[in-house]
Amino acid sequence: MKVTYIPDFLFDGDTFHTDVPVTVSDGVISSLDIENGAKEVRIPGTLAPGFVDLQVNGGGGLLFNHFPTYSTLEKMISAHSRYGTTCLLPTVITSDINTIRRAADAVSEAITKKLPGVIGIHFEGPHISAAKKGIHDASQIRELSDEEMAIYSRQDLGYRLLTVAPENVSNRQIHQLKECGVKVCIGHSASSYQRTMSAISAGAAGFTHLFNAMSPLTSREPGVVGAALTADSCWCGIIMDGLHVHEAAAKIALKCKPKGKLFLVTDAMSTIGSNQNCFELDGREITLSDGALTDASGTLAGSALDMVTAVNNSISALGMDVGEALRMASRYPGNFLDENNEFGTLMPGKQANFTQLIINQGRLQVQHSWINGQPYY
């Protein structure tokens, strides 16, 4: 059935428009016009591209690491669609190889069954630095084995992203991963600037949660942060919850990175879309207090951030215009995965992934989300 959505405003990924309808047929945008025979639906507020989140640890009360199943993925996309996310990479953090394999199998099932919203997988670890492990389990940190390389090389997982520390993988392995279609990101690393730049030359394409769990920029050793800010070819994800990154640091990143190379991630845990305020992670109790998820020592454990809040924080804290903040949550992460992708623009021929936004007390609020043309929230 064809449906024509007629919003007050349309943000197509580039420009805001008035009086521009969107007609959807078979999960795809067929035109930006009213079509004969289409059901017409009025949409108050703005229709914008759905958000693309490349780092999602959980949602709906479940962590993907704890429950790496198809059912968990269903709950995660249901939880995050409430906040405008229509595509995500479920993220499995440092763990044993059995958990990693089960996570890959769950994502493969989701891709095969075309579960709306799940477009691939993010392996965050276990090939990271113990010195910059953050909340990750130190006992599971290790070098990259042939068995793990075989998992990452699978072609049934959709988009694949792997976060590594250059000190724990070789340039040969980075090149091999790139050649088989894996997006290699640098994160949880105490690497030097020189070693990080060498990894980029070998094929690393991005950085995971910029500034967090990486060697800092100093006058004589620029570190991983220095490499991230000066490598114009690389993309950087950033967590804009007001806790992980100071707004001044985020402003510096905006000034340093070419337009389009800095994008929003949530690093969200299981609390999103649930009433949960504590959970266990690798034997440690994680509690939610004042918006922060921490263990008993105060170490941050992912975030309680949703994507529309990240967009609002970017607007308020960074003085960013609404269009650019929306692009940082949709078009730019989509471009990182694939510059010829289906994400972040509302144009004929693109997947009908979009979200309805209204203004409530000066902030954007999600009213509904559609994935592949179907109402999902």
Going 369 to 370 to 371 to 377, the CA torsion angle's sign is positive
Residue 131 DSSP label:
G
DSSP result, 46-105: EEEEPEEEEEE-EETTEETTT--SHHHHHHHHHHHHTTTEEEEEEEEES--HHHHHHHHH
Are 301 and 293 in contact, with CB atoms under 8 Å apart?
A: yes
**Would you give per-residue pLDDT tens digits along the chain (377 residues)?**
899 999 999 999 999 999 899 999 999 999 999 999 999 999 999 999 999 999 999 999 999 999 999 999 999 999 999 999 999 999 999 999 999 999 999 999 999 999 999 999 999 999 999 999 999 999 999 999 999 999 999 999 999 999 999 999 999 999 999 999 999 999 999 999 999 999 999 999 999 999 999 999 999 999 999 999 999 999 999 999 999 999 999 999 999 999 999 999 999 999 999 999 999 999 999 999 999 999 999 999 999 999 999 999 999 999 999 999 999 999 999 999 998 877 999 999 999 999 999 999 999 999 999 999 999 98
Find tokens 């995965």 and name the residue: 337
Are 344 and 274 in contact, with CB atoms under 8 Å apart?
A: no
In angstroms, the CA 364 to CA 308 distance is 7
Q: How many CB atoms lie within 10 A of CB 308?
A: 23
**Token pair of 74 as six digits:** 């269903």
In angstroms, the CA 298 to CA 133 distance is 14
Given this model, what pLDDT does residue 342 score?
Answer: 76
Beta strands in 165-309 (DSSP E): 182-186, 206-207, 235-239, 262-265, 278-281, 284-289, 292-294
Given this model, what pLDDT does residue 28 score?
Answer: 96
Given this model, what pLDDT does residue 166 score?
Answer: 98
Given this model, what pLDDT does residue 339 score?
Answer: 84
Given this model, what pLDDT does residue 356 score?
Answer: 98
Find tokens 């290699």 and name the residue: 184
Mapping DSSP to helix (H, G, I), strand (E, B) and coil, where does residue 254 land?
A: helix
Tell me the per-residue pLDDT of 264-280, one tens digit each, with 9 for 90 and over.
999 999 999 999 999 99
Q: How many CB atoms lie within 10 A of CB 301?
A: 24
In angstroms, the CA 331 to CA 339 distance is 9
Residues 6+ apart with CB under 8 A from 130: 138, 141
CA atoms within 13 A on the CB side of 245: 32
**Token pair of 374 as six digits:** 């179907």
pTM for the predicted model, two decimal places: 0.97
In angstroms, the CA 183 to CA 174 distance is 9
- Name the β-bridge partners of 371: 374
Instruction: List, by residue number, the catalytic residues.
Output: 267
Residue 356 parent element (H or E): strand 354-360
Query: For residue 242, what are the CA distances in angstroms to 53, 312, 322?
Result: 18, 11, 18
Query: For residue 373, what are the CA distances in angstroms to 149, 187, 244, 351?
Result: 36, 35, 34, 7
Given this model, what pLDDT does residue 341 score?
Answer: 77
**In order of start, what are the domains of the chain with their CATH numbers?**
3-48+347-375 (2.30.40.10), 51-337 (3.20.20.140)
Given this model, what pLDDT does residue 340 score?
Answer: 83
Mapping DSSP to helix (H, G, I), strand (E, B) and coil, where does residue 239 land?
A: strand
